[in-house]
Structure formats: C-alpha cells, structure tokens
Structure 1
Amino acid sequence: MPEEDANLQTVMGLIMNGGNAKGAAFEAIKAAKAGNLDQADAKLKESDKFLAEAHNAQTDMLTKEANGEHAPVTLLMVHAQDHIMNAITFRDLAGEMVDLYKKLED
C-alpha cells in the first residue's frame, strides 16, 4: 500500500474512532438521564474502546515520526486530531455526568 494511502487510512480511522467514541459517550449520558445506569457504564466502556483504538493509531504515527518517517500535515490530519481531542473531552465530561446521575439516584 502506498504511503499516502496508508496515511489517509490512518486519518480516516482517527476520525471514525473519534466520532464513535463521542457518540457512545453521548449515549451514556442519555442512558444515565433515563435511569439506565448499567447501560450508561457500558456505553462509557464502549467509548473508551474507541478512544483506545485512536490512541494506538496516534502512538504508531508518533513512533514513525520519531524514527524520521514524517507524515504530511494536511487539513484532514488536523481535522482528525481535533476530532480525537474533542472526543476525549466529551468522554471525560460524560463520565462526570454519569457519576452525577448516579449520586442523584442514591
């Protein structure tokens, strides 16, 4: 696979995993709001799984960069990194909100 295609595949994977992580985190908030706390916890774990996939791809890219294999910085790459950072922030906030709903339930 040509290097450019591999970079595009990695970038698209980051975007997809970021979107899936954020979506699962949002579903966790909705589940907690409805009183489905076990489902909320499961959705947070699902979000974490998607974020781990994205983190592994980022680690691979950073390792290559450190070894002198520089990836081109494109608008799509910047968008992918932004997507991941927003997903991480949203996941953190979702975890706090689920915890709050749990306290309200008690």
Structure 2
Amino acid sequence: MDQEYLEAVMGLIVNSGNAKSDAMEAIYAAKEGKFEEADEKIKAAEAALVEAHHSQTGLLTKEAQGEKLEITLLTVHSQDHLMTSITFTDLAKELVDVYRKLYNG
C-alpha cells in the first residue's frame, strides 16, 4: 500500500470517526435542550463526512482511471466507518428533531 493510498484510507477512518462523534454529541446536546449546540454539532458531522467523501472520491477516481488498488482489511474498515457514520448522522438529525419537538411542545 503506497503512502497516498494509506493517507486516503486513514482520511476516511479519521473523518468518519469525527462525524460519528459529532453526531453523538448533537444527540447529547439535544437531550439537554441545547439545540443551538446540537445544530452546530450536526453541521460539524456533515463537514467531516464531506472530508471523508473527498478521500473516498480520490480512491474511486484512481480505480476508474484503471489503477489497480489493493483491497485490504484496512480499506474495508474505512468503508465500514464511512457508511456507519453516514447512517448515524442521519439518525442523529432525526433524534435532534424529536427532542426539539418534545421541548417545544
């Protein structure tokens, strides 16, 4: 695995993990009625997902251009992190909305 490929895979893992953490913090904030903080955390999660997608797009572009990429457990792990973080962020948005409705009647 070359350095550029490793950096892209690690970018997926790190940014996806950051997105999931921010989404969880959004849920915690909403649970306490701190909706401005929850909204900021959702925005941060979405920004981290954009960065993760940039890493993924770089890998997909290389493969589409005919470069043979080595699929390792680390690569699969990075994709798993991304998909989980996307799902978790979507769910966090819904939970923040539910808490907002509960607090605002």
Taking structure 1 as the reference length, what is the TM-score of the superposition? 0.95
**How far did 1:70 drift?**
2.1
| Unaligned runs of at least 5 residues, structure 2 | none
Q: Note if contact 2:38-2:96 (Cα within 8 Å) is conserved in structure 1.
A: yes
Task: Look up the match of 1:19.
Answer: 17
| Unaligned runs of at least 5 residues, structure 1 | none
Between the aligned partners of 1:5 and 1:74, the Cα distance in structure 2 is 14
Matches within 5 A, 1:3-82: 4-82=2-80
RMSD of equivalent CA atoms: 0.9
The residue type equivalent to 2:59 in the other structure is M
Taking structure 2 as the reference length, what is the TM-score of the superposition? 0.96
Percent identity of paired positions between Structure 1 and Structure 2: 55
How far does the alpha carbon of each residue in 1:42-84 deviate from its partner, in whole angstroms, 9 at most, with x for none?
0000000000001111111111111101211000000000011
The residue type equivalent to 1:89 in the other structure is T
- Moved >6 Å (runs of 4+): none
**How far did 1:7 drift?**
0.8
